[in-house]
């Protein structure tokens, strides 16, 4: 728990737009409205619309989907990418 708070503090103190920090909070707390979440509410099929191969979980959307990998590598600045991966990896187990 302490390590998680430390990563969150590092993330929150980065100089980036508040909307990105808020998005990261949603990500860290698994609050993104993914198809798997909608599926639990019996509203959609759980699979990813982009690759149609996997259940669309937060990790799939952000890390594992082939489209996500291309987007993040091309759009995310390197120093944010490292923090992003630390938060994702620490919360994926």
Q: Which residues bind Zn ion (CB under 5 A)?
A: 48, 50-51, 65
Q: Which pair of tokens denotes residue 52? A: 């149609």
Report, in Å, the least distance between residue 64 CB and Zn ion.
7
Do residues 29 and 38 touch, judged by C-beta distance below 8 A? no
Q: Is 23 exposed, middle or buried (0-12, 13-18, 19+ CB in 10 A)?
A: middle
Q: Which is nearer to Zn ion, 48 or 87 (CB)?
A: 48
Report, in Å, the least distance between residue 54 CB and Zn ion.
6
Report, in Å, the least distance between residue 52 CB and Zn ion.
7
């Amino acid at each position: 728990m302490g390590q998680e708070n430390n990563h969150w503090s590092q993330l929150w103190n980065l100089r980036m737009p508040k909307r990105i920090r808020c998005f990261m909070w949603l990500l860290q707390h698994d609050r993104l409205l993914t198809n798997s979440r909608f599926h639990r509410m019996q509203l959609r099929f759980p699979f990813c619309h982009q690759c149609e191969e996997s259940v669309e979980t937060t990790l799939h959307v952000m890390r594992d989907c082939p489209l996500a990998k291309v987007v993040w590598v091309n759009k995310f600045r390197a120093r944010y990418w490292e923090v992003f991966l630390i938060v994702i990896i620490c919360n994926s187990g």
